[in-house]
Amino acid sequence: MALHIHGAWILLFVLTGLVTPAAINHEDYPADEGDQTSSNDNLIFDDYRGKGCVDDSGFVYKLGERFFPGHSNCPCVCTEDGPVCDQPECPKIHPKCTKVEHNGCCPECKEVKNFCEYHGKNYKILEEFKPSPCEWCRCEPSNEVHCVVADCAVPECVNPVYEPEQCCPVCKNGPNCFAGTTIIPAGIEVKVDDCNICHCHNGDWWKPAQCSKRECQGKQAL
């Protein structure tokens, strides 16, 4: 009986020696899930789907609770399907706005330029100016420039002159008209050659002069 027990111990020792560490396949013995997580340095986040909502800072909100997901987001309501957020119709930003802030649900204009720009120059609000002799302009509160252009009367002569810093042309020699290619003053009859005497139309200075033939000088009597 003692011999059989001794032989069993010898057989166990031999079998144990045959099983080496290299013979153990680690794939057959998966590590515990917790051990895998710690070895990969991964973080496990709680799943709040269907139970709550999380904002950008990590705060958790209950179902039905109203909250702001982020600093510049619109308000949202937490639902089982996730946040349902308002989409309001934001007011339009002024086209002349020079500083826009996005600190809330809608962008907000913080500064509008207080001047007008016209032909490369800046003018203060309500400032009046004349960019040319015939223009009168004003810088409106809307930062737009409104101008009025002078309407000049038709000159009473055929050779008007534009003076510096003056809008409308002037007739320096008074009213006149053309008699052919000759300029004659209005209001008197002018003998333009040996046979023709001409005068300007009354009020219609742009029309050619009216001329009539007279007895030509130097004509010999029959």
pTM for this one?
Answer: 0.39
Q: In which residue ranges of the chain is pLDDT below 50?
A: 1-45, 220-222
pLDDT digits 0-9 by tens, 112-158: 778 888 999 999 999 999 998 899 999 998 888 999 998 888 888 99
219, 215, 183: which is closest to 198 by C-alpha?
183
Dihedral sign computed on CA atoms, order 165, 174, 199, 192? negative
Check residue 47 and give its pLDDT: 61
- The CA distance from 206 to 143, in Å, is 43
Number of Cβ within a 10 Å radius of residue 184: 21
**Structural domains of the chain sorted by starting position, each given as residue range(s) with its CATH number in brackets:** 51-104 (no CATH), 115-149 (2.10.70), 154-215 (no CATH)
- The CA distance from 142 to 99, in Å, is 16
